Amino acid sequence: MDANIIIFHLCSFVFLILRGADGDMSYSFPEEMKRGSVIGNIAKDLGLQTGALSNRRARIDTDGTDKRYCDINLNNGELVVADRIDREGLCGEKASCVLKQELVLENPLELHRITLHIQDINDNSPQFKEELINIEIHESADRGARFVIEEAHDADVGQNSVQQYSLKKNDNFILAANGNTIELVLDKELDREKQKEINLLLTALDGGSPQRSGTVVIHVTVLDANDNAPVFSQDVTPNDINLLACFTKTCLVRLLFTPLFSHIDQILFECCFFLLPW
C-alpha cells in the first residue's frame, strides 16, 4: 500500500475517534418509560439537518453484549425508547445505572457514543421476607428487653428504598430502629395469666413519592413463668383440716398393716406417724 494512502487512513482513524469523542451524547431519564417515549433529539444535539440522518443511514448499534434499548426516528431525529428499561433488573442495588449505546452514521463513517443514565422511580414496595413473624417471650422478661426483627427490603434505591418503620400502638411494645437493625422493646411487662398471645402490626415505609409501604404481623406467644403461689378456691376452716388429718391417719394405719410393707418402711412410718401434730 502506498505510504500516502496509509497516512491518509491513519489520519481518518484519528479524525473518527476525535469526532466520536467530541460527539458523545448523554441523556438522563427515568426507568420504565413506555416504548416510543422521547429521550432526546439526536439531530439537534449533533447539529445535523433532519434529512442527513436518513441520507447517512443513521442507526443505533450495541457492542454485541448490550441490548438495544433506544432507536432513532429518522424523520425527526428523535431518540426514543425501544425496549423496557427496568433499573432494578439492569443495575440492582447500584446507586448509579448507566447504559452504553452507539450511534453509527455512514458517508463518512462516524461513531458517537450515547450514554443513558437511568433514574430510579419508586415502582417497588418494601417487603418483609415473611407475612407473619412468630416470637416467644417469657412473661418474666424485664421492661426494656429487646427482640430483633428481620428488616424489610425494597428493590429501589436511595430515597425510594426503606426509610422508616412504624409499629401500631399497643399496650406492651415500642419500636427501636437504628439503620438496618429493627427491635421490639418491651415497654410494659407481660402477664401470661392476663394475655397469652399478642398480635403486633409492623409497617415499613419508603421515602418515594407517592410513598409505598409493606406490613408484617408479629405474633407474640407469652411463655409462662412460675409467678403465682397455689391458692384454695375457698376459705379452709379448722374443721376441714381435722377432717383431712383424720382421713390421712386412717390411710396410714391401713398401709402399716399391709403385708408388703417392709420392716424399714414400718420404722420410718412409725417415726413420721408419731411426729405428726395430731
Binding site residues, Ca ion, CB under 5 A:
86, 88, 120, 122-124, 154, 156, 160, 192, 206, 212, 224, 227
Q: From the CB of 108, what's the least distance to Ca ion, in Å? A: 40
Q: From the CB of 126, what's the least distance to Ca ion, in Å? A: 6
Nearer of residues 48 and 225 to Ca ion, judged by Cβ: 225
Residue for grid cell 447504559? 99
Q: From the CB of 127, what's the least distance to Ca ion, in Å? A: 10
Distance CA 217, CA 197 (A): 12
Nearer of residues 86 and 183 to Ca ion, judged by Cβ: 86
Nearer of residues 71 and 206 to Ca ion, judged by Cβ: 206
For residues 148 and 137, is the Cβ–Cβ distance under 8 A? no
Cell numbers placing 178: 437504628
Nearer of residues 34 and 254 to Ca ion, judged by Cβ: 34
Distance CA 261, CA 245 (A): 22
Torsion of CA 167, 171, 176, 181, to 10 degrees: -70
Give me the half-sphere count of Cα atoms (radius 13 Å) on the Cβ side of residue 262: 3
For the chain, percent helix, then strand, then coil, each to nearest 5? 25, 35, 40
Q: Which of 30, 35, 40 minimizes the C-alpha distance to 87? A: 30
Nearer of residues 119 and 199 to Ca ion, judged by Cβ: 119
Q: From the CB of 91, what's the least distance to Ca ion, in Å? A: 10
Q: From the CB of 186, what's the least distance to Ca ion, in Å? A: 16
